[in-house]
Amino acid sequence: MAKVCEICGKGPMTGNRIVRHGLEKKKGGIGLHTTGVTRRRFLPNLQRIRVKEGARVSTRTVCMSCLKAGKVTKA
Q: How do the pLDDT tens digits run along the chain, 75 residues long?
A: 689 999 999 999 999 999 999 999 999 999 999 999 999 999 999 999 999 988 999 999 999 999 999 999 998
Instruction: Give the domain ranges of the chain.
Output: 13-69
Which residues have C-beta within 8 Å of that of residue 21, sequence separation ≥ 6? 32, 33, 35
Specify the pTM. 0.75
pLDDT score, position 34 = 96
pLDDT score, position 1 = 64
State the CATH architecture for 13-69: Single Sheet (2.20)
Distance CA 44, CA 61 (A): 11
